Amino acid sequence: MIEDQKIQLSLEQLNQLLADYPAIKEFQEIQKQAKKNPRLLALEEEIKQAQKEAVQFAHYGKPEAEKEAIRKIDALTQEYNQHPVVQLYRESLAQANELLQYVTQTIQKNVNQAIEEGTKHASED
């Protein structure tokens, strides 16, 4: 029980350290901007609507209308992907992911070492 509490406390401390890390804070701020950006929200809705139309046109056997809907989807998606907030979001997401991967790999390495040492000591006894 005490070991579980130590682990939980360590996880909470790690979580707080990560939350305070500049790359994570920057990512969270850009994420907020992206979620509130009216043009991005409008583009998301336009893309969803065009996707629905493409599916309906395909279902009703209207290949030309379907192709036009797909072209519209592609154009809207390109505009979305080129938006400065989206580009910043993706860059900050990559940085945050790199940090989290580093932390995860470090924890995994330390846990594996502890297991190996525990196994080594157990076999010596």
Q: What is the pTM of this model?
A: 0.75
Asked if residue 14 belongs to a domain, the reply is no
Residue 111 · residue 92 · CB < 8 Å: no
Asked if residue 65 belongs to a domain, the reply is yes
**Hey, what's the torsion of the CAs at 47, 55, 57, 80, to 10 degrees?**
10
Asked if residue 5 belongs to a domain, the reply is no
What's the CATH number where 37 sits?
1.20.1500.10
Residue 51: closest CA among 69, 75, 68, 39: 69
Confidence at 33, pLDDT banded by 50, 70, 90: very high
SS3 37: coil
Q: Give tens-digit pLDDT for 42-90.
A: 999 999 999 999 999 999 999 999 999 999 999 999 999 999 999 999 9
Q: Give tens-digit pLDDT for 107-119.
A: 999 989 988 887 7
Asked if residue 4 belongs to a domain, the reply is no
The residue segments making up the domain with residue 111 are: 23-124
Instruction: Give the amino acid at 31.
Output: Q
Asked if residue 76 belongs to a domain, the reply is yes
Asked if residue 79 belongs to a domain, the reply is yes
Asked if residue 103 belongs to a domain, the reply is yes
Instruction: Give the amino acid at 70.
Output: I
Alpha carbon distance 93, 101 (integer Å)? 12
Confidence at 122, pLDDT banded by 50, 70, 90: low
